[in-house]
Structure 1
Amino acid sequence: MMDLEVETGVVELPQPESGFRPHWRPKRHFTPAKNWMNDPNGMVYLEGVYHLFFQYNPGDSVWGDIHWGHATSTDLLHWQEQPVALASEPDGLGYIFSGGAVVDWENSSGFQSGDQPPLVATFTHHSKEEVQAQSLAVSTDGGLSWDKYPHNPVIPNPGIKDFRDPKVIWHRDSGHWVMVLAVGDQVHFYRSRDLKDWVFTSGFGRTSGAHGGVWECPDLFPLRDADGEERWCLLVSINPGGPNGGSATQYFIGGFDGEAFVPEHEDIRWLDYGTDNYAGVTWDGLQRVDDRRLFIGWMSNWQYANKVPTSLWRGAMTIPRELSLYRDKGALRLANAPAREVDEARRRVVSMPLQPGNSIALPGNSALDLVLKIGGAPELELEFSAGENGGRLLLALSAERGALLLDRRESGWVEEGFGREISAPLAHALHGESELRILIDGSSVEVFIDDGRTAVTALFFSSAPLSHMVLCRADAAVPFVLYRL
């Protein structure tokens, strides 16, 4: 595949069928130029470049012959698609399933060649016989090219069907590499000094979290709260079993000593209550220059991912988000808000107080960022419409009921169970300065309250671009700002 600037929505490509709509392709969210994409993989940052690898089928627009695709960016909003990084081996160890990548700064692996530290990817080989094992690949040129380790797999399958998606971090206090691996509906932890020889240390999840489906794509990392105290966060995606059906991502907060994770809460917590934020993980390598934990997820749901009408390409990523800890009602929780690069890119279009009944014309052919100051006890309803018979989205927020509702039952394409009302309980208490933020880009809407303390991500496929927003109901005038991205 040739290098291609995926300024999504600008790329001119043939339309495969009459139902295809160019406005479905987002402009500021990564999508492949063509064919199938799912989970983000191997996200790593080195020398000013964000690398995004992803589950990719180069020969079809449905899941199948899975490779690792590759894209790069310097600002998280403009992506350049690169050649395939890791090709499948259908007659060998198998397809290239999900995993992670790290910068081996101290060359503990011995893979370094030249002055640049090696990048080491950990991933799952999935054979035709459906045997899953963990393998390595190495890049010594900053992620441009990759070689599979000749002694793969480094963790053979122990006789477990669902045994996949390794994510590796360096655990400073113990001086080891640590791997978290999805195993059935739990996770296992391993440690290594050289990224090649791994020792099992513990399991987690048998009596914790949601268990409506298989656990996938775990991630483990430290964060500091507002008081500077460190906690460990564990992300685990689950399919099915999400709060609004199908796939979703849960999280745990607790302690980790290099061998075992101990949660400090018993309740089930969801990173995002929408139907379309799954398998998200965070970037490695960034922490040396910028103390942020940046996250990106796959913007789809396994209930309908193979059927959505973007048949030229299927799959998009969420907007990159920064993860942070906050305290609400005495408990630490995890927020996910758009990364600051999104704030830096936006340009104001209009700022005004909205009265109930006011209608705002939305700029066409643009990614939009809408901000409403909602206060501590809002009761409001918004309608986004795509013209007569083009489809509409309804968004309602009720502090009294403690809920955010997104209704896409009349949004256009509503097959495969897609047309539904998505409900999110408010994960935190509102206050006088509370803010509702809505990102609309192509066929995606991402809703954040108070810097992502409550988040809802959803796809929609209207037959025309959204053209108007109406404040259908509100307690009073609502301060409103509209930005382009």
Structure 2
Amino acid sequence: MSSSLDAARPETAPAETPRFRPAVHFTARDTWLNDPNGLVFHDGLYHLFFQNNPYGNVWGNMSWGHATSTDLLRWTEHPVAIAGDETEDIFSGSVVVDHGNTSGFGTAESPALVAIYTSAFKAGSVHSGTQAQSLAYSVDGGMTWQKYDRNPVLTRDSAHFRDPKVFRYESAQDSCWVMVAVEAQQQKVVLYRSDDLKTWDFLSDFGPANADAGEWECPDLFPLPVDGDPENVNWVLIVNVNPGAVAGGSGGQYFVGQFDGVSFVPEAGSLAAPAGITSLPDDASRSEALQQSLWLDWGRDCYASVSFSNAPDDRRIIIGWMNNWDYANQLPTAPWRSSMTLARELRLSSGNGGARLVQHPVLGGSEEELLHAGNIELGASALRLPDAVPGAAQVIEAEIAPGTAERVELRLLASSDGRQGTVLSYAAGNGRLTLDRSRSGETTFHEKFASVESAPVGLEDGVLKLLIVVDQCSVEVFAQDGKVVLTDLVFPEAHSQENSLAAEGGIATVLKLAVSSLA
């Protein structure tokens, strides 16, 4: 991903902030990170490569950092995998396991891992000012990498051609590698095919469509069965956009449709506006179309989400960058800056508008239960929940029937005097779930940080289901079994640890309430 932000360290480094270090969200030890890259499962390990500045905690000197995990919760950071140099920055891309040794970089018995990444060529290099796609390969399970000596392997002589996601496409008629990349400033996804990962032929393009007011980045394309039915498979195209997301700044949209090995065709229900949002006549029309677009996350802090290659049992698991380009370089954390979202498993579920994604956080089943209760009548008097625990994440699961209540409110990471806290509320009257971080603690480091996000959420049989993960400096909300997700960063004061639940304007019933700790 590109940025014009200054690549140098701040002249005065902020004091270290260990209280904000997440327990189960990956952060680099003491440097900057952004987009997840090259997500791949191989030989029992999940590999997370990522955009990394090895020399500072703001954007710059782009290289691929590297971490591994066996459970997607606890990560081990390794040395830089693919380093930028005097000719190129190493921008986003993907990794595949070349099982058939189509590239010749490995053997049939010991396949190579092949990284397909964007070379952002610097002034003075042969390809100065362009972005093109290049290869690197590993024959030791992803721990060391060698750049291909004939890079780049695909160029369009473009300054904004980037973020290749490559996958193996198999059908009765064809077997090949397919690349989805973007012409970022044209708001287009471009598709190519290859037999050997080295020589690429153009297939088709898609876009602009829906949220197209900003640059398109970090695409992904994959099949998923609808409601688990292998006879009913749709394809999902993820396209991240910056700026112009539903909550402002950076965000991820998606389309559902069909891919035949050449072209992606979205179903009609995936299109909020056939000609694209930017062609709509006024701000009100654009806002309405944004609400109708399909969003991976309705919060401010989930961007560049892409999925793992070669995941076991054909699971489709994504990770996103938990940040927003509006204020990314100003987050009040040190010595690191930025983290990843939780890993989320994706499924397609049928509904009135067509097949839609649902997301379930990968938690590993190792939570320690702190509270389990049910059938609680809830009014204006707050129901106190277990406090947040320093150094651990907290998982809150609730099923609530709003009943006569006008509003149900969950206060998270709040101070005892009520002056600070992050508020998650639901208004049954308009069916909106709202996450308010305007008084969540440290908010003044950037003018765009103090914000309120909301999403449409309908009750199901009169019930609101919530799964909330709170981890030191973040809140991830999965509503109605993951049909709607909101993710926001928060930076509470050290004394703000209280959690509570209340109802306003009537009586609600808490059918189920479970709180657990995850470290």
Residue in structure 2 matching 1:373, options 399, 403, 417: 399
SS of residue paired to 1:251: strand
Residue in structure 2 matching 1:458, options 488, 494, 500: 488
In structure 1, what is the equivalent of residue 410 of structure 2?
382
1:482 partnered with 2:515: yes
Change in CA separation of 1:363 and 1:419 when aligned onto 2, cut-off 3 Å: closer
Residue in structure 2 matching 1:95, options 86, 89, 99: 89
1:346 partnered with 2:371: no
Give the Cα–Cα distance (whole angstroms) in 1 for the partners of residues 496 and 318 of structure 2: 27
Give the Cα–Cα distance (whole angstroms) in 2 for the partners of residues 430 and 477 of structure 1: 15
Scaled by the length of structure 2, the TM-score of the pair is: 0.86
Shift of 1:64: 0.6
In structure 1, what is the equivalent of residue 132 of structure 2?
133
- Residue identity matched to 1:328: G
Contact 1:446 1:458 in 2 (8 A): yes
CA-to-aligned-CA distance 1:178-216 (integer Å, 9 cap, x gap): 00001121100000000110001100013x221110000
CA-to-aligned-CA distance 1:75-107 (integer Å, 9 cap, x gap): 111100011000002x22x10000001111111
Give the Cα–Cα distance (whole angstroms) in 2 for the partners of residues 480 and 380 of structure 1: 14
SS of residue paired to 1:306: helix
Name the % identity: 43
1:159 partnered with 2:157: yes
Give the Cα–Cα distance (whole angstroms) in 2 for the partners of residues 215 and 195 of structure 1: 24
In structure 1, what is the equivalent of residue 204 of structure 2?
202
Give the Cα–Cα distance (whole angstroms) in 1 for the partners of residues 454 and 462 of structure 2: 23
- Residue identity matched to 1:150: D
Give the Cα–Cα distance (whole angstroms) in 2 for the partners of residues 483 and 116 of structure 1: 42
1:239 partnered with 2:242: yes
Give the Cα–Cα distance (whole angstroms) in 1 for the partners of residues 421 and 499 of structure 2: 10
Shift of 1:469: 1.4
Shift of 1:323: 0.6
In structure 1, what is the equivalent of residue 386 of structure 2?
361
In structure 2, what is the equivalent of residue 319 of structure 1?
342
Residue in structure 1 matching 2:426, options 397, 400, 413: 397
Shift of 1:433: 5.5
- Residue identity matched to 1:326: S
Residue in structure 1 matching 2:167, options 166, 169, 186: 169
Shift of 1:332: 0.9
Residue in structure 1 matching 2:40, options 44, 60, 75: 44
Change in CA separation of 1:204 and 1:376 when aligned onto 2, cut-off 3 Å: farther
Residue in structure 2 matching 1:78, options 67, 74, 85: 74
In structure 2, what is the equivalent of residue 59 of structure 1?
55
Contact 1:116 1:141 in 2 (8 A): no
- Residue identity matched to 2:222: F
CA-to-aligned-CA distance 1:122-157 (integer Å, 9 cap, x gap): 00011224321100010111111110110000012x
In structure 1, what is the equivalent of residue 183 of structure 2?
183
Change in CA separation of 1:293 and 1:314 when aligned onto 2, cut-off 3 Å: same
Contact 1:375 1:430 in 2 (8 A): no
Shift of 1:430: 2.6
- Residue identity matched to 1:33: R
Aligned pairs for 1:278-293 within 5 A: 278-286=303-311, 289-293=312-316
Deviating beyond 6 angstroms after TM superposition, the runs of 4 or more aligned structure 1 residues are: none
- Residue identity matched to 1:17: P
Of 132-141 and 461-470, the range deviating more from structure 2: 461-470
Of 65-74 and 114-123, the range deviating more from structure 2: 114-123
SS of residue paired to 1:314: coil
Give the Cα–Cα distance (whole angstroms) in 1 for the partners of residues 465 and 75 of structure 2: 29
Residue in structure 2 matching 1:441, options 471, 492, 504: 471
Give the Cα–Cα distance (whole angstroms) in 1 for the partners of residues 64 and 420 of structure 2: 35
Aligned residues: 461
In structure 2, what is the equivalent of residue 8 of structure 1?
none
In structure 2, what is the equivalent of residue 32 of structure 1?
28
Give the Cα–Cα distance (whole angstroms) in 2 for the partners of residues 139 and 67 of structure 1: 16
Q: Structure 2: any 5+ residue segments left out of the alignment?
A: 1-11, 124-128, 273-292
Give the Cα–Cα distance (whole angstroms) in 2 for the partners of residues 16 and 64 of structure 1: 16
Give the Cα–Cα distance (whole angstroms) in 2 for the partners of residues 258 and 114 of structure 1: 25
SS of residue paired to 1:290: helix
Q: Structure 1: any 5+ residue segments left out of the alignment?
A: 1-14
Shift of 1:119: 0.6
Contact 1:231 1:254 in 2 (8 A): yes
Residue in structure 1 matching 2:194, options 192, 195, 211: 192
SS of residue paired to 2:178: strand
Contact 1:136 1:149 in 2 (8 A): yes
Give the Cα–Cα distance (whole angstroms) in 2 for the partners of residues 248 and 435 of structure 1: 24
- Residue identity matched to 1:224: P
In structure 1, what is the equivalent of residue 453 of structure 2?
422
1:413 partnered with 2:442: yes
- Residue identity matched to 2:14: E
Shift of 1:115: 3.2
Give the Cα–Cα distance (whole angstroms) in 2 for the partners of residues 439 and 139 of structure 1: 35
Shift of 1:44: 0.5
Change in CA separation of 1:42 and 1:57 when aligned onto 2, cut-off 3 Å: same
- Residue identity matched to 1:349: L
In structure 2, what is the equivalent of residue 124 of structure 1?
118
Aligned pairs for 1:214-229 within 5 A: 214-226=215-227, 227-228=229-230, 229=232
Give the Cα–Cα distance (whole angstroms) in 1 for the partners of residues 101 and 262 of structure 2: 22
Shift of 1:248: 0.1
SS of residue paired to 2:192: strand
Change in CA separation of 1:466 and 1:293 when aligned onto 2, cut-off 3 Å: farther
- Residue identity matched to 2:323: S
Give the Cα–Cα distance (whole angstroms) in 2 for the partners of residues 433 and 388 of structure 1: 31
Contact 1:23 1:465 in 2 (8 A): no
Shift of 1:423: 1.5
CA-to-aligned-CA distance 1:33-81 (integer Å, 9 cap, x gap): 0110000000000111000000000111100101000000001111000
In structure 2, what is the equivalent of residue 10 of structure 1?
none
SS of residue paired to 2:508: coil
Contact 1:113 1:140 in 2 (8 A): no
CA-to-aligned-CA distance 1:156-189 (integer Å, 9 cap, x gap): 2x23321100000000112010000011211000
Shift of 1:390: 7.5
